A and B are shown apart, each in its own frame.
Chain A
Amino acid sequence: MSVTADSSPATSGELQTIVAARRLTDVATVFIGVGRPSTAAILARMVHNPDLVLVYESGTIGAKPFHIPLSIGDGELAQTADAVVSVPEMFNYWIGPGRIDVAFLGAAQVDRYANLNSTVIGDYEKPRTRLPGAGGAPEIAASCGEVVIIAPHTTRTFVERLDFLTTVGHGEGAGSRERLGFRGRGPSAVITDLGILEPDPQSMELTLTQVHDGVSVKRVRDATGWQLAIASEVAVTEPPTEAELSALRELTSR
């Protein structure tokens, strides 16, 4: 391993990871898949929250990976975990009862109520693009304390209407989750490469509350497939600190 001396400005991808890691400063447990969510959670343990408990769908609870895993079941996750449990146990004993504070999820499509599609693009019977499917997402989103969605900000991803509703976020708006009997609070933020959307406390409609440095509100609007609601005051993301950026680059170089 080598510590990189790279001092170039953060890329939008790096910034997205750093912003996601900051959401984990004050939480005890996080449920993560591979890719950016996993990188963000490992970064959070390095910089903000060394006691953060990482839970991967493979059944590894309290994993402490040194390397960014390629799969949720990499050997390093099992070898460093506090406990390794079966898939039925993971869903029935750990996720279902709401023992996990925050879950990170991705998706191919997100709608204005933070509902997610990871099943098909096009018609279900004759899809243009067949996506992987639900995996653990529906029950994770129903039961974890809150959900943070990480997605690239384009009109292909942020759509007026999902081709398939794989995972319920806030359903049809306020009251939907309660009617469905969900225990978790649902999506609390969507972190994109342009900024952060958060549900309006009354309507639960996603609202632009924060833009990353140098990103205009218009640019976010143009990259969203519906008439995006804008908060009365839009914050600007704090730039990455030296500590955050160097830790992230050191992590990805391992």
Chain B
Amino acid sequence: MAEIVSLKDAVATLVSDGDSVALEGFTHLIPFAAGHEILRQRRRDLELIRMTPDLLFDQMIGMGAARRLVFSYGGNPGVGSLHRFRDAIENGWPRPIELEEHSHAGMANRYVAGASSLPFAVMRGYAGTDLMERTDVASIACPFTGEQLAAVPALRPDVAIVHAQEADRDGNVQLWGIPGVQKEAVLAASRSLVTVERIVEKLQPRPGGVLLPGWTVSLVAEAPNGSAPSYSLGITERDNDFYRAWDAISRDRDAFLDWMQENVLGGVGAAASAR
């Protein structure tokens, strides 16, 4: 059964300098509180993995925590650019960052292969694109029909971190709403942390609920409002105003650093920062 510990202890136990760390949540349930705790503990040289880097990785890249980024769509959804992500790639600030980029379908299938403990996943994709030359993908012939398909290598992160609505005292986790690739990320990783909005006595089954039995998760930590400014369906709402405001905060290096110091490194955390 997953042990329930504080967020601080969970990150200290599971995340080391140099690790590959997947923090998933597709627009919904993005684990901001955990990412901020990684920054407060000054973890360095991470390989950060997320399909959609979103504001969370913009912040982590801008603080220089990442040596490498694995991703498929690096934008501020509905708003525009991720300025810290761009500054790192275009200007090497605050440090140069190595990139591995895929399509969404490629990333999703890489997690599926990882969760399945298979070496690769097979899919239709990448054909004819310049991504073929730039990323880890190969052509493979179907052994039955000869059709040419794409093979993408399994993703096996050292650590997967996701956020969910609820866990019980045995560390069984339930999330609902947009499920993204969280289940796949947890099952693909060597170690995992689930932060939750609340610990409950007994999980009530939800329509479309995704259950992660406690024995599939390393550690669970309570982090109320831990997905803000993303959201936890049924409990918190997406802070669209903050997503818009981030454009101006993140455009300037000093304004960004000041904001991070005041709202994240000062220890207040994501919950306060989004208000």
Name A's B-contacting residues (CB within 8 A): 34-35, 57-60, 69-75, 77-79, 84-88, 90-92, 95-96, 119, 124, 127-139, 142-143, 164-168, 171, 176, 180-183
B231 lies within 8 A of chain A by Cβ:
yes
- Decide: A164 near B27, CB < 8 A? Known: A87-B51, A87-B181, A130-B90: no
CA distance A199 to B72 in the complex (A): 29
A sample of 12 more A-B contacts (CB under 8 A), given A132-B82, A135-B103, is A57-B104, A58-B28, A69-B78, A70-B79, A71-B243, A74-B240, A75-B237, A85-B179, A92-B112, A133-B71, A134-B72, A143-B124
CA distance A176 to B128 in the complex (A): 9
CA distance A183 to B125 in the complex (A): 11
Please name the residue on chain A nearest to B52 by beta carbon.
Answer: A135
Flag B228-266 by CB within 8 Å of A: 1 or 0 each. Answer: 000101000110100110000000000000000000000
Segment of B9-17, B31-39, B129-137, B164-172 in the binding face: B129-137
B84 to chain A, nearest CB (A): 11
The A-contacting residues of B in range 83-130, CB under 8 angstroms, are: 85-86, 89-90, 101-105, 108-109, 111-112, 123-130
* Chain B residues with CB under 8 A of A134: 72-73, 101-104, 129, 131
Q: Which of A73, A92, A131 has the most CB of B within 10 A?
A: A73
* Chain B residues with CB under 8 A of A84: 177-179, 208
Give me the 3 closest cross-chain CB pairs, A-B, nearest first. Answer: A73-B27, A132-B75, A135-B73
* Chain B residues with CB under 8 A of A70: 77-79, 238, 240, 243-244
- Decide: A71 near B27, CB < 8 A? Known: A78-B233, A132-B73: yes
The A-contacting residues of B in range 172-203, CB under 8 angstroms, are: 177-181, 183-184
Name B's A-contacting residues (CB within 8 A): 26-28, 51-52, 71-75, 77-79, 81-82, 85-86, 89-90, 101-105, 108-109, 111-112, 123-131, 134, 147-148, 177-181, 183-184, 208, 210, 231, 233, 237-238, 240, 243-244
Q: Is B131 a contact partner of A138 (Cβ separation < 8 A)?
A: yes
Q: Is A87 a contact partner of B129 (Cβ separation < 8 A)?
A: no
SS class of chain B's interface: helix, strand, loop or mixed?
A: loop
Q: Is A136 a contact partner of B71 (Cβ separation < 8 A)?
A: no
Q: Is B26 a contact partner of A138 (Cβ separation < 8 A)?
A: no
- Decide: A72 near B129, CB < 8 A? Known: A133-B71, A135-B73: no
Q: Is B26 a contact partner of A168 (Cβ separation < 8 A)?
A: no
- Decide: A130 near B85, CB < 8 A? Known: A139-B125, A142-B125: yes
Please name the residue on chain A nearest to B28 by beta carbon.
Answer: A73
Q: Is B90 a contact partner of A128 (Cβ separation < 8 A)?
A: yes
Q: Is A74 a contact partner of B124 (Cβ separation < 8 A)?
A: no
Q: Is A86 a contact partner of B78 (Cβ separation < 8 A)?
A: no
Q: Is B104 a contact partner of A58 (Cβ separation < 8 A)?
A: no
* Chain A residues with CB under 8 A of B231: 75
B185 to chain A, nearest CB (A): 10
CA distance A200 to B129 in the complex (A): 22
CA distance A79 to B176 in the complex (A): 11
Q: Can you list 22 A-B contacts with CB-CB less than 8 angstroms, sorted by A residue number?
A: A58-B178, A59-B180, A71-B27, A72-B77, A72-B78, A79-B233, A87-B104, A87-B180, A88-B181, A90-B108, A96-B124, A127-B89, A130-B85, A133-B72, A134-B103, A134-B129, A135-B52, A135-B103, A135-B104, A136-B105, A139-B105, A139-B123
Q: Is A95 a contact partner of B177 (Cβ separation < 8 A)?
A: no
Q: Is B129 a contact partner of A167 (Cβ separation < 8 A)?
A: yes
CA distance A238 to B255 in the complex (A): 48
Please name the residue on chain B nearest to A79 by beta carbon.
Answer: B233
Q: Is A92 a contact partner of B123 (Cβ separation < 8 A)?
A: yes
A117 to chain B, nearest CB (A): 9
